[in-house]
Amino acid sequence: MQQTVAILLNEREPQKKEIAATLEAELKAEGITSSRISSSPSLAEQVIAARPSVVVTDYILEDYGTGLDILEVCRTTETIHRPTCVFLTDEPSLQVAIAAMKLGAVDYLLTTDVHALSECVTIIRSKLADLRQATKYRKSLRTIRSKKELVVSSEVMSKLQESLLTELEKGKEMILLCGPTGVGKRTLARGAIQSLGRLPLAIEVDRECSSLTSMLGRAIATFEMYEDEDSQPALILENLSLANTGMAEELSREIKTLSERLGQAPYPLFMTTNDPRTAEQFSKHFDAFIAPVPALSEGREGEIGQLVQKFLFEASTIFKIEVPKLSAKELAWFGEQNWEENLAQLKRIIESFIAGQNIVRGEGPREKLDRILEIDRSILMSKPHLEALRKDSLSLFETLISAKGDVGQCARLLDCSIGEVYQLLTEGRNGAHEVGSSPSALNRTNEA
pLDDT tens-place string over residues 316-369:
776 767 778 888 888 888 888 888 888 888 888 888 788 766 555 556 788 888
**Nearest to 193, CA basis, from 271, 296, 251:** 271
Q: Are residues 312 and 259 in the same domain?
A: no
Q: Are residues 9 and 115 in the same domain?
A: yes
User: For the sheet containing 269-273, what is the strand order?
Assistant: 200-204, 234-240, 269-273, 174-178, 288-292
- Pairing of the two strands 234-240 and 269-273: parallel
Q: Is the pLDDT of residue 83 over 50?
A: yes
Q: Is omega for the bond preceding 268 within 30 degrees of 0, making it cis?
A: yes
Q: Are residues 346 and 244 in the same domain?
A: no
pLDDT in tens, 293-319: 998 888 787 788 888 888 888 787 767
Give dist(CA 171, CA 173) in Å, integer: 6
Q: Which of 23-37, 193-207, 212-226, 354-368 has the highest mean pLDDT?
A: 23-37
Number of domains making up the chain? 3
335 lies in some domain:
yes
pLDDT in tens, 134-147: 555 444 444 444 55
Give dist(CA 381, CA 51) in Å, integer: 44
Q: Are residues 124 and 164 in the same domain?
A: no
Q: Are residues 281 and 334 in the same domain?
A: no
Q: Are residues 176 and 251 in the same domain?
A: yes
144 lies in some domain:
no
CATH code for the domain of 233: 3.40.50.300
426 lies in some domain:
yes
Q: Are residues 76 and 176 in the same domain?
A: no
Tell me the HSE value of 189 on the side-chain side, using a 13 A CA sphere: 31
149 lies in some domain:
no
**pLDDT for the residue 413:** 65
141 lies in some domain:
no
Q: Are residues 265 and 335 in the same domain?
A: no
Banded model confidence at residue 74, pLDDT cuts 50, 70, 90:
confident
Which domain does 285 fall in, by range?
Answer: 155-292
140 lies in some domain:
no
**pLDDT for the residue 110:** 93
Banded model confidence at residue 126, pLDDT cuts 50, 70, 90:
confident
Q: Are residues 308 and 440 in the same domain?
A: yes
Q: Are residues 435 and 309 in the same domain?
A: yes
**pLDDT for the residue 222:** 64
Q: Are residues 127 and 224 in the same domain?
A: no
